[in-house]
Amino acid sequence: MRDPVIGVVGAGYVGLTTTACLAHLGNRVICVDVDGSKVDGLRHGEVPIAEPGLAELVAEGLAARRLEFTTDASTLGDAEVVLLCLPTPMGEAGVADLSVLESALGELAGVLAPGCVVVMKSTVPVGTTARAGELLGRSDVPVVSNPEFLREGHAVHDFLHPDRIVVGTEDTGAAARVVGLYAALDAPVLRTDPASAELAKYASNAFLALKLSYVNALAELCERVGADVRAVGRVLGLDNRIGPAFLAPGPGWGGSCLPKDTSALLRTAEAAGVDFGLLRETVAVNVAQRERVVRKVRRAVTGSPRGSLAGVRLGLLGLTFKAGTDDLRHSPALAVAAELSRAGAVLTAYDPRAGGAGHPDLDGIALVDDPYLVAKDAAGIVLLTEWPEFRDLDWATLAALADHAAVVDTRNLLDPDTLCGTGWVHTGIGTPGDQDEPDGTGGADGPRADRR
């Protein structure tokens, strides 16, 4: 007799990680994706996304014949459990677009065996799991909410070592089946109703966004009053009730999920008649953060936060939405680049990984494969993603290549003292001397460009 089959629909960050990890835990897994070329590659062990350990687990699963990749959803006829890992992008007016999910459910309705459990791993608005059951129209196939909390760049680790596993269903038998999938993992399991599970996922991402907007707003205050956000953050982080994570200021938060999920949660609140002003402000601070970065760049290269960037050559270091991923979707780096480009700057960019996922519009940015080329004849460098290797660049050489050695370090990655010795004038975020003046006065300590 063959082992029971687990089906996974969608071979993206969540689906492929789920597939590979469940196979690693000893299951037979069939992963279905509509993208034929992705499926062909995966059959040969070619993993299209950069996630540590993922290619190894896919290779292990293929070698053990526990893994199958296909475009044919009808192969899920024998599956005991089918996990939906489909995209739920930001749709019109910020509402989650569930069209892919809905069409997949329509297709699965005629395929799944009686008693199969459908697991909603996609991030979906409250009520979607219940509605998915109706769309499926199969009283013999329960649908369970089981949101995923993994981070890109840590997907395999986070799947195998989750902080918690949430199983949202009123159906005890279906819940047991889903809990069983994770039996080998050492993590607390929380059984909830489907609505609470769905909302908890959005609430988690929105809280992370809130923490980041708080620290970015705090960084602005630090600049104005002469405090150092790094020191303030260390003090905050040592309070167990606050915790040290997500306290690093930056160019704003992005990625494929925080922006769409805050937006979808706002729409949910609106529809429920709740004025979630705190969350609206969280998003507004994030938009303002990009503008602050652009003002810092203007000031660093022209001496005034209102100086013109028309025709000014700028080098960008980093394009992905954070370090450790190749994902460009909703990258704050790209948002800042777009603003700079709109202001007339001529942009050259280097990123060690960008390009693997997302396919955003990079028009107007000259991509180079050598970080030193971004400095050539540049009026300044803007560091946008916290790739650690940027610290190890030969900054003296970069200074020699640049027209004007001003660096705006939106991640506080570089050590200003070390840089100073190589001729650079460093502007960070939220540290003394980084003052940003929206009124365009030029700053208490005079234009940076004059201090070279």
Ligand X SMILES: O=C(O)[C@H]1O[C@H](OP(=O)(O)OP(=O)(O)OC[C@H]2O[C@@H](n3ccc(=O)[nH]c3=O)[C@H](O)[C@@H]2O)[C@H](O)[C@@H](O)[C@@H]1O
Ligand Y SMILES: NC(=O)C1=CN([C@@H]2O[C@H](COP(=O)(O)OP(=O)(O)OC[C@H]3O[C@@H](n4cnc5c(N)ncnc54)[C@H](O)[C@@H]3O)[C@@H](O)[C@H]2O)C=CC1
Give the active site residues: 257
> Using the rule CB under 6 A, which residue among 150, 316, 354, 414 binds ligand X?
150
Q: Is the dihedral of CA 165, 167, 172, 177 positive or negative?
A: negative
Number of residues this chain uses to bind ligand Y (CB under 6 A): 26
The listed partner (ligand X, ligand Y, none) that binds 248, CB under 5 to 8 Å by sort, is ligand X
Is 329 labelled as part of a ligand binding site? Answer: yes
How many Å apart are CA 108 and CA 50, to the nearest integer?
Answer: 30
Q: Which residues neighbour 159 within 8 Å (Cβ) at sequence distance 6 or greater?
A: 17, 18, 21, 148, 150
Annotated ligand binding at 152? The verdict is yes
Stretch that binds ligand Y, among 81-89, 159-167, 183-191, 339-347 (CB under 6 A): 81-89
Q: Is 197 in the site for ligand X (CB under 6 A)?
A: no
Q: How far is the CB of 442 from ligand X (least distance, A)?
A: 28
Tell whether residue 212 is a contact of ligand X (CB under 6 A).
Answer: yes
Angle of CA points 399, 304, 414, to nearest 5°: 40
Write b or e for each residue in 289-298: b if 16 or more Cβ atoms lie within 10 A of its Cβ, otherwise e.
bbebbbbbbb
Binds ligand X by CB under 6 A, chosen from 133, 142, 332, 430: 332
The listed partner (ligand Y, ligand X, none) that binds 208, CB under 5 to 8 Å by sort, is: ligand X
Query: Which CB sits closer to ligand Y, 120 or 229?
Result: 120
Per-residue tokens: 15: 């689906």
Is 149 marked within a binding site?
yes
Please list, in sequence order, all residues whose beta carbon lies within 8 angstroms of the beta carbon of residue 392, skipping any fewer than 6 positions away: none
> Smallest distance from the beta carbon of 101 to ligand Y, in angstroms?
8
Query: Restricting to residues 239-268, which ones interact with ligand X according to CB under 6 A?
Result: 246-248, 250, 253-255, 257-258
Q: Which of 364, 356, 293, 294 is nearest to 329 (CA)?
A: 356
**Contact set for ligand Y, span 91-110 (CB under 6 A):** 100, 103-104
Among all residues, whose Cβ is closest to ligand Y? 12
Toward ligand Y, which CB reaches closer, 88 or 410? 88
User: What is the C-alpha to C-alpha distance for residues 416 and 427, in angstroms, rounded to an integer?
Assistant: 8
Smallest separation, CB 135 to ligand Y (Å): 13
Under a CB-based contact definition with an 8 Å cutoff, are residues 402 and 422 in contact?
no
Q: Which residues of 4-40 are buried (b: 16+ CB within 10 A; e: fewer)?
A: ebbbbbbbbbbbbbbbbbbbbbebbbbbbbeeeebbe
Q: Which residues of 350-389 are buried (b: 16+ CB within 10 A; e: fewer)?
A: bbbbbeebbeeebeebebbeebebbbeebbbbbbbbbbee
Q: Note the residues at the interface with ligand Y (CB under 6 A).
A: 9-15, 32-35, 38, 85-88, 100, 103-104, 122-123, 148, 150, 152, 256-257
Q: Note the residues at the interface with ligand X (CB under 6 A).
A: 123, 148-152, 205, 208, 212, 246-248, 250, 253-255, 257-258, 321-322, 332
> Which residues are known binding-site members?
33, 38, 88, 123, 149-152, 201, 246-250, 254, 260, 322, 329
